[in-house]
Amino acid sequence: QLLFSGFSKTRENLAVVDELLTYWNLDESESILDELEEVLLVSDFGPKTALKIVDTIRKDILAGRLKSGPQIKEALKKNIFKLLTERVTTTELQLGNSRPAVLMIVGVNGGGKTTTLGKLANRFKKEGVKVLMAAGDTFRAAAGEQLEVWAQRTGSEIVMAEGPKPRPAAVLSQAVRRAVEEDFDVVLCDTSGRLHTNYNLMEELRGCKRAVSKALSSAPNEVLLVLDGTTGLNMLAQAREFNQVIGVTGFILTKLDGTARGGCVVSVVDELSIPVKFVGVGEGIDDLQPFDAQSFVDALFP
Ligand code: GDP
């Protein structure tokens, strides 16, 4: 349970569900379902997803499949689990068969991209995988140095930006070419993350993906969008936009140890059908865990 220890706010909100369902009876079903929807909204589930969940439960009640409060609560958990798993492919990283595999890490500044990249390098290193980092965040002044520290800590090699006005695409392209020549297994590409509303950033990201694809002679194996778990439904807007621009293959949710907003995770996966692959649960090097939908749901409704 330590895994999602930071969900206290969401858990507090959802605790009301127990109270609500204690008094559930068929006559008052409608008003209780309305309240249930309200609780889901307050818990950041987002209007579409909240409605979808409550509608499914309503149908099951009307069909006589759900007859008591506890049954309804179980159904609620099952529905949420289903939304997290039903339409997404595996939560495992897809590295393909040829080497190097290239992972682009994208997301807005401050979300935890660079830290996550370091944590990923640490996981790979433990598996004996040879990692090359690419310091593609040439916009944020300290990003390169921050990444260099992670490279040293994890015993990874790194390609840094050079010259007065480095182009991120050139850094990534250089890294991929070096990885091909020197038989690296994995290239972890950091990218810059000015606000997602910034048109130039999105153009830049497209350029980065093109550069990687050209150097690798195929698309990057993963484009992982780092989402700050504390940002609530803002997360949904970011996920839509990044996915539209470069095609996201997986999410990494960070800061789930803090005041994370659990509900929106369900909305993001439900709306975009893209899996969460990892969760960040602290600032330390080992604080990255594979996402497990069942423990997530269990943490929401203990
Ligand atoms: P970037 O701008 O996206 O590269 O973000 P950084 O990697 O620099 O992270 C921004 C801040 O968030 C740093 O202080 C990190 O230590 C912190 N951070 C990143 N991931 C987590 C996490 O899972 N939990 C917590 N509590 N803090 C995190």
Q: φ and ψ at 14, to 5 degrees?
A: -75, -15
Task: Using DSSP, state whether 181 is helix, strand or coil.
Answer: helix
Task: Give the pLDDT score at 23.
Answer: 82
Measured in angstroms, how far is the CA atom of residue 156 from the centroid of ligand 1?
Answer: 20
Measured in angstroms, how far is the CA atom of residue 266 from the centroid of ligand 1?
Answer: 22
| Whether the CB of 120 sits within 6 Å of ligand 1 | no
Q: Ligand 1 pocket: which of 226, 254, 261 to mutate (most atoms <8 Å of CB)? A: 254
Q: Ligand 1 pocket: which of 106, 113, 115 to mutate (most atoms <8 Å of CB)? A: 115
pTM of the predicted model, to two decimals?
A: 0.94
Task: Give the pLDDT score at 91.
Answer: 86
The Cα–Cα gap between 65 and 62 comes to: 8
Both tokens assigned to 143: 């990003």
Q: Between β-strands 288-290 and 276-280, what pairing exists: parallel, antiparallel or unpaired?
A: antiparallel
Task: Give the pLDDT score at 147.
Answer: 96
The Cα–Cα gap between 135 and 81 comes to: 37
Task: Give the pLDDT score at 90.
Answer: 81
Task: Give the pLDDT score at 2.
Answer: 47
This complex has an ipTM of: 0.99
Q: Which helix (H) or strand (E) holds 160?
A: none
The Cα–Cα gap between 280 and 265 comes to: 13
- pLDDT 10s digit of each residue in the chain, 302 long? 445 566 777 888 888 898 889 888 888 899 999 999 999 999 999 999 999 999 999 999 999 999 999 999 999 999 999 999 998 878 899 999 999 999 999 999 899 999 999 999 999 999 999 999 999 998 887 899 999 999 999 999 999 998 888 899 999 999 999 999 999 999 999 998 876 556 688 888 999 999 999 999 999 999 999 999 888 888 999 999 999 999 999 999 999 887 778 889 999 999 999 999 999 999 999 999 999 999 899 888 87
